[in-house]
A and B are shown apart, each in its own frame.
Chain A
Amino acid sequence: MPRSLRVLITYLLLILLALFMMGPFLWLLSVSLMPGRNVFANPPAILPTFIAFDNYVQVWNFMNFPRYILNTVIITLLGVVFNIILSCLTAYPLAAFRFKGRNLVFTLLISTMIIPSATAMIVHYLTIQAFQLGNTFFGVVLPAAVSVFNIFLMRQTFLGIPADIRDSGKMDGASELRIFIQLVMPLVKPGIAVIGLLEVMAFWNNFLWPIVVLEDPEKYPLAAALTYLNGQFSYNFGWIAAGTMISVLPIILVFLFTQKYYMEGIAGAIKG
């Protein structure tokens, strides 16, 4: 097969696949820009005949979007900060220190990945209630404040740092904490960026646990508020489409601007 034909077929397949993966989003965008049209009209409206932002304006005015966005940002920030601090602190000794019990910690961490706990959410609910954190953002964030996955990812990153760095710090009489903060942490910025991004997406999209913990719908993050909108206005398709676009656009933009790090990080999670 000549090379040009092969390239042509490759592009054809790439475009078909792109339609399959992106088509539903493009259609949602199209619905959100068609005021007063029913998605179930016959034949279904696929492309807008004219573009208008009425749905966006109306749904923005009707729902308290700034409130929900603020909730989501607070939850996401808290979640990301907890995850970065806790997984770096936990992963660093596992990569750089020699100590008794290192293998024990490692085995314990791995075992949690192999035995998933379907009951976890129920026990989390009881724990959060016992700590009196029900209906608080901390109650939303704490159960996912650190993950084994992130610890492994950071350990992998710390392993790439030469031991000389720590030794030279010790020679100068710096404490372990100071070595960690001033010498080691600046070297693992790419790793931190990756777990940061992973957690931004996880917390931004989280909907179920917030609904379980938060009694007050005013505290809902965007994804949870969306289910609420869908339940209340199941026939106002344009509004729901616009609301959904508002909730997914920020995360898609974050992804598009950071995809290089993000994809390298995901790929770096396993090594053959």
Chain B
Amino acid sequence: MYKGFRSESFTAWAFMAPGLLFLAVFTFWPIIYGIPLSLTDYSVITETNYVGLDNFTRAFQDHNFLISLWNSLVYVLIVPVIQIISILMAILVNSRIPGVKMFRAAYYIPVVTSMVAVALIWSWLLGNNGVVNYLLLKAGIISEQVSWLSTSSTALYVLMFITMWKGLGYYMMLYLAGLQGIPADLYEAARVDGAGPLRLIVHVTLPLLRPHILFCTLISVMGAIRVFDEVYILTKGGPGTSTLTSSVYIFQKGLEQFNFGYASALGLIVSVMVGALSVLVFRLNRKGGVNSY
């Protein structure tokens, strides 16, 4: 028996070895190696020195880094908006009417297309003489053209809108799966007790979606803090520092200016922040739970 167990163990590790090797090099190693790297001034140009915690003290005096942290936190504000809209969308596409599957697919198309294409389309739509300004002017909502992406006060919110627009379909699908798992007789019972549509949502749908809400909140918080592509393509953090998010700043320091040591320190600070935020989300949803897949 013992021998059988041991050989099964050996086979298991043999099966997992290639995958774990790749994970070790490309998933675990970056987390581990980031720590010693953050204690050096490693860059391609000069000799590498151990600098202790200098990078970290420098980070907290780095005005741009603090702004980028703030912008990343502002970005997290899209999380509740995404959850609310995508739950409503899911309820809508859960209706049993002909053609509804076509609409589900249509809402999902922004999710499958590349951010490069999405960013390009929106940068045109949002241009000074673009379609958005034209429509808003016609409707009388704004009185003059707005340069949405090159005005400091609007740029970050416009990027948040694009991120939301691209992601809605993804969360809608996750919630739809949750909705389809809710037994119909629960609704029947509540209806017999005289509950209206709104009460059905608040007292039946939302409590039963709780694990899904936790999961979606968690991944969208992480997504919001790590947001990179749309910001990098559309504004590169500008105008000024108004859309400088932490990932963009780390990328600039690391892969554009080759300050690997400093960038690693910044990355570690952000990772700790994300870890703390996810613990917070878990706490807020203590009753819910993710059944680790």
Contact = CB atoms under 8 A, between A and B. Distances in A.
Interface stretch (A15-23, A49-57, A63-71): A15-23
B34 A119 contact: yes
B113 interface: yes
Interface in A176-229: 176, 180, 201, 204-205, 207-208, 212, 223-224, 226-227
A260 B37 CA distance: 45
Interface string A154-169: 0110000000000000
B178 A272 contact: yes
Contact of A270 (B12, B169, B174): B174
B174 A93 contact: no
Contact of B113 (A142, A205, A270): A205
B97 A119 contact: no
Given A28-B121, A85-B18, 18 more contacts: A21-B168, A90-B15, A99-B8, A112-B28, A116-B222, A117-B34, A118-B271, A120-B27, A122-B34, A122-B263, A126-B260, A142-B22, A176-B15, A252-B113, A266-B170, A266-B177, A269-B174, A272-B209
Interface in B90-125: 92-93, 95, 97, 100, 103-110, 112-118, 120-122, 124-125
B83 to A, nearest CB: 14
B19 A87 contact: yes
A102 B97 contact: no
B157 interface: no
Contact of B22 (A100, A120, A145, A227): A145
A115 interface: yes
Q: Which 5 A-B pairs have the closest CB atoms?
A: A267-B177, A119-B267, A90-B19, A205-B114, A93-B12
A230 to B, nearest CB: 6
Interface of B: 5, 8-9, 11-13, 15-16, 18-20, 22-23, 25-31, 33-34, 37-38, 89, 92-93, 95, 97, 100, 103-110, 112-118, 120-122, 124-125, 127-131, 134, 165, 168-170, 173-174, 176-178, 180-181, 208-212, 215, 222, 225-226, 228-229, 232-233, 246-247, 250-251, 254-255, 260, 263-264, 266-268, 270-271, 274-275, 278, 290-293
